[in-house]
Amino acid sequence: MSVPLPKREVTRELHHDTIKPRKRLFRLCFLCASPKIDMATREIQNPILRKLAEYGLITMSIWIMVVGIYFFKFPNNFAFGGVTGFSTVIAKMTGWSVGDFTFFVNTALLVVGFLFLGTDVGVKTVYASMLMSFSLSALERLCPLTRPLTQEPLLELIFAIFCPGFGSAILFNIGASSGGTDIVAMVLKKHTSMNIGSALLLVDLTSVVMAFFVFGPTTGLFSSLGLMAKSLVIDDVIENMNLCKCFNIICDDPKPICDFIINELHRSATTYKAEGAFTHHNKTVIMTTMKRVQAVKLRNYIRRVEPTAFILISNSSEIIGKGFLTN
């Protein structure tokens, strides 16, 4: 349980409830699980336990990615998504093991990262990258696959996108990554003026184009679809993890509402005086931001203690300040 936060102005970008139809499917999947996992980790006070929880979260995220890559991506030769996408193509062309080639490339990129970036590579990224490489190699030996799990490639493509995308988003949200082409991006960002997004897109496009020639048009088209959908999944998971509710409450008596926010929800608020344009009655506006579970409690409380209060609730996934994201 966190202590009450001091009064503050919160910087935020409001994303109103005008969600595009293409995002609704992803939002339903991530709504319940993703925000609570990360918040539970952040609220641990003991630094050792918090560090263990972070690495436990990294381990879980990597294993989710590994399941999607090994059981759904590799057997179907889907060639999107950085190192594992290239590994799929190169393994077919050379006869190498996909897992071993991924291990080799990830290790080489970590060495390159240390040479060009030093300690900026980060312990979390090293751990995540090596765990993924070892896990893929181990699965090849413990659970070899000679064909796809089902006869439904579209179904398997969904899981090949969903699992790595979900795991990657959790990693990004706690300041880690799975290594691979992310290290290339870090090197390019530090030592060149090249557009990083364009460079990484070029890498992904190269592996997808190669898939057309190596595996045929069907696999190439599935890989193209996976490449287009991957970024949408990652962006939507990160947005839902950080999603908060921003309240603007126009009321006559702010004291019970503020007391509830501070003492029961362990948040703070900013208040200021206002005047109704039509009635010219004096009002108080309460501004506060909180997680969705807390928002439901606050909304129900306001309806009970001051039913005539006017409440504006908006979504935001970009909130910078104490108790939320750091700068």
Q: Domain ranges in the chain?
A: 20-241, 244-320
Span 173-186, mean pLDDT? 76
> Among residues of the chain, what percentage have pLDDT more than 90?
32
pLDDT at position 76 is 92
Q: What is the mean pLDDT of the chain?
A: 79
Using one digit for the tens of pLDDT, what is the confidence trace for 191-207?
A: 776 666 666 777 778 88
Lowest-confidence range among 28-42, 118-132, 230-244, 273-287?
28-42
- Confidence at 315, pLDDT banded by 50, 70, 90: confident
Strands (E), the chain: 11-15, 244-251, 270-275, 282-290, 310-320
Residues 6+ apart with CB under 8 A from 278: none
Q: Highest-confidence range of 124-128, 179-183, 219-223, by mean pLDDT?
A: 219-223
Q: Is the pLDDT of residue 13 over 50?
A: no
Locate 127 and state its tokens: 């751990």
pLDDT at position 222 is 92
CA distances from 176 to 43, 52, 118, 291 (A): 18, 14, 16, 23
The DSSP output letter for 322 is T
Span 77-101, mean pLDDT? 86
* The Cα angle at residue 253 between residues 248 and 254, in degrees rounded to 5: 45
Single out the residue of 186, 158, 182, 185 nearest to residue 168, CA to CA.
182
Lowest-confidence range among 70-84, 128-142, 231-245, 274-288?
231-245
- Confidence at 121, pLDDT banded by 50, 70, 90: low
Give the Cα separation of 68 and 161 in Å (integer): 7
Give the Cα separation of 116 and 188 in Å (integer): 10
Residues in the chain: 327
Q: For the domain made up of 244-320, give the CATH fold.
A: Alpha-Beta Plaits (3.30.70)
> Among residues of the chain, what percentage have pLDDT more than 70?
78
Lowest-confidence range among 14-18, 107-111, 246-250, 280-284?
14-18
- Under 8 Å between Cβ of 274 and 287: no
Q: pTM to 2 decimals? A: 0.68
pLDDT at position 298 is 94
Q: Is the pLDDT of residue 155 over 80?
A: yes
Span 151-167, mean pLDDT? 90
pLDDT at position 126 is 86
Q: Is the pLDDT of residue 322 over 80?
A: no
Burial category of 144 from C-beta neighbours within 10 Å (exposed 0-12, middle 13-18, buried 19 and up): exposed
Burial code (b: 16+ CB inside 10 Å, e: under 16) for 256-266 equals ebbebbbeebe
pLDDT at position 269 is 92
The 8 Å CB, 24+ separation contacts for 22-31 are 22/232, 23/232, 23/236, 26/232, 26/233, 26/236, 26/237, 27/236, 27/240, 29/162, 30/166, 30/236, 30/237, 30/240, 30/241, 31/240
pLDDT at position 156 is 94
Question: Torsion angle, CA of 50/52/56/59, rounded to 10 degrees?
Answer: 120
Using one digit for the tens of pLDDT, what is the confidence trace for 225-250?
A: 988 887 777 667 767 777 889 999 99
Instruction: Order the strands of the 244-251 sheet from edge to edge.
Output: 11-15, 310-320, 244-251, 282-290, 270-275
Using one digit for the tens of pLDDT, what is the confidence trace for 14-73?
A: 333 333 433 443 444 444 444 455 555 555 667 788 888 889 989 999 999 999 999 999
Q: How many other β-carbons are positioned within 10 Å of the β-carbon of residue 60?
A: 13
pLDDT at position 247 is 94
